[in-house]
Amino acid sequence: MDLSTLQLYRHEIYCCFQRAKAALFDTVDALLAETQAQSFPQLSQSPFFQRKWPSLYEAFEDGLINTERLRETFVKYALLAHGGKRVVVGIDATSIPRPFSQTSADRTTMPMHNIPHTAPKKSTVLTFGWKYSTVMVLPEHPSSWTSIVDQQRIASDQTDIQVAFEQLQQLVPLFSTRLLVLLDRGYDCNWLWCRCSGLPIDLLGRLKGNRCFYKPAPAHTGKSGQPRKDGAKLKLSDPSTQSHPDHIWEGTDAKEHAVRICWWEHMHVKEARWLDLTIIQVSRPHATNSERDPRISWFVYQGQDPQEGLAQIALMYGLRFSQEHGYRFEKQALLWTQPRLRTPDQFDRWSQVVAIVHNLITLAREFIAPELHPWENKHRDPTPQQVRRGLAKFLPQLGTPASLSRVGI
């Protein structure tokens, strides 16, 4: 890949804009170039924003983006950046707080996670705003270097799980290889497993600790009475039911820490006995056994027998935390939560612009030299923000498909 790859990507992105094309694309370049911007209006001061500052807001009021074509473009270039390796994607939802936007439509109630230190640790503080479900292609090693392939707002009459499944339905046909999908405990749901069983994907999800699973029912003994519907029980919170796993693997993780992995094959839940699930227990003796670092974690695997081996698939769950790093980059560096746009549709367009810039930086990683501040470590892998600074210098060479501003716009 080289600069011509970035030029093709930018051209295809421009073709996804259907109305207010030039103003939206100028916003893309301004967001990429203004690495020190602290607010949304500051983007209009970029030399790459060829219009007056009111056009920044008008771009999202009047603009229109072909989301289906944009999704196809994201997948195409995510695969190009991934280099033909096994594609691992994560799905998660994040909140955009809007507690004071009382006239904004379709806000929902959501918990606040950054609770002040003066509040009790277990207190529940609620706020109001919008939620977005994001599907990201995850890197080989946990980092911020993710590629967004779909980003959708979760409407007030939908759940995170419903939107996640809709996104998978739309995305799976666009990938030429079988996806491995990583999900956290918020997606521990029989309904989702049943729906995903009809998709050509492999799914690895973290489980809640109160789950019960069952082996297939044993053969009928011929005695009178109804035959058993379920076999041996596996209760995740009861060690006495966990004594006979089908397989055990012992080894080390990527950090050379000891790990023991056990799994039980051909399991099901009572609500859907036809499901064929594999339940995995991962034991990490070195862990602190806190909520964020448990010694024992449980996972469900659904899909084909993996070529890498089930133990290696279980260890891949650590890649899911890259999604948290990707969200942090979007919110802190790319100003995702900053604009005070009036309607959810306007904020949807802004969210797509943020995703476009995020992916452009990821695509440029291999051939754009990062720009480091004097106090930043030169021996670590570059961050997206450092590559963003380096990429901003190449914008004049890349050119822009956006038309020049007319006087008074």
In a domain, 257, yes or no: yes
Task: Decide the pairing of beta strands 88-97 and 108-111.
Answer: unpaired
Q: Averaged over 7-29, what is the pLDDT? A: 93
Whether 242 is covered by a domain: the verdict is yes
Across 159-188, average pLDDT: 95
Among 78-82, 132-136, 331-335, which stretch is predicted with the lowest mean pLDDT?
78-82
Q: Is pLDDT at 403 greater than 70 in this prediction?
A: no
User: Residue 328 falls within a domain, yes or no?
Assistant: no
Would residue 250 count as lying in a domain?
yes
pLDDT at 407 over 50: no
Residue 3 has pLDDT above 90, yes or no: no
pLDDT in tens, 97-123: 998 888 889 999 888 776 655 555 555
Question: What does the mean pLDDT of the chain come to?
Answer: 89
- Select from 389, 334, 324, 340 the least CA-distant residue to 357: 334
169 CB neighbour count, 10 Å cutoff: 13
Kindly state the average pLDDT of the residues 374-398: 90
| 355 assigned to some structural domain | no
Name 205's Cβ contacts closer than 8 Å, sequence gap at least 6.
Answer: 182, 183, 184, 185, 187, 188, 299, 300
Q: What is the pLDDT of residue 54?
A: 85
What lies within 8 Å, CB to CB, of 390 at 6+ separation is 368, 369, 370, 371
Considering only residues 81 and 195, tell me which one the structure prediction assigns the higher pLDDT.
195
Q: Is a pLDDT exceeding 80 seen at residue 65? A: yes
Structural domain of residue 291, as residue ranges? 207-216+228-300
| Residue 264 lies inside a defined structural domain of this protein | yes
Q: Is the pLDDT of residue 268 over 60?
A: yes
Lowest mean pLDDT among 244-248, 252-256, 302-306: 252-256
Q: Is the pLDDT of residue 210 over 80?
A: yes
Instruction: Convert the pLDDT of each residue in 293-336 to its tens digit.
Output: 889 999 999 999 887 889 999 999 999 999 999 999 999 999 99
Q: pLDDT band at residue 408, thresholds of 50, 70 and 90? A: very low
Total structural domains within the chain: 1
In a domain, 143, yes or no: no
Q: How far apart are the first and last CA of the chain?
A: 36
Structural domain includes residue 57: no
State what percent of residues in the chain have pLDDT above 90. 64
The confidence score (pLDDT) of residue 308 equals 81
Q: How far is CA 60 from CA 63, 156, 170, 285, in A?
A: 5, 22, 25, 51
